[in-house]
């Protein structure tokens, strides 16, 4: 399965917790080592470093993570995004 996302925020409001994209059409295959990673582009993001995307097996959710210039890995949060943040991504996975 290949999914694509092209999303732009216009007024993000506020939220608590990790940024995620939910509602994949099928769950990721429950296979050891089957955890997919996506190709992602962010515009108007308020961090230095990079953003990654992946899904856990047996879920329909894409997790968004930030990796700082120093290598620290953490969940992307509301405060990392601007009111006009853009997310463009593609991910392929087994069902």
Q: Which two tokens stand for residue 30?
A: 């429950």
Q: Which two tokens stand for residue 57?
A: 């097996």
Tell me the chain's radius of gyration from C-alpha atoms: 13
Q: How far apart are the first and last CA of the chain?
A: 7
10 burial type by CB count under 10 A (0-12 exposed, 13-18 middle, 19+ buried): exposed
* Per-residue confidence in pLDDT tens, the chain, 95 aa: 999 999 999 988 888 889 999 999 999 999 988 899 999 999 999 998 999 999 999 999 999 999 998 899 999 999 999 999 999 999 999 99
Measured between alpha carbons, how far is 28 from 25 in angstroms, rounded to an integer? 9
């Amino acid at each position: 399965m290949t999914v694509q996302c092209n999303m732009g925020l216009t007024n993000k409001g506020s939220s608590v917790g990790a940024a995620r994209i939910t509602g994949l059409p099928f769950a990721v295959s429950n296979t050891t080592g089957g955890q997919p990673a996506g190709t992602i582009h962010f515009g108007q993001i308020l961090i230095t470093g990079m953003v990654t995307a992946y899904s856990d097996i047996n879920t329909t959710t894409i997790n968004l993570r930030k990796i700082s210039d120093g290598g620290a890995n953490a969940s992307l949060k509301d405060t990392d995004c601007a009111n006009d943040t853009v997310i463009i991504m593609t991910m392929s996975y087994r069902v």
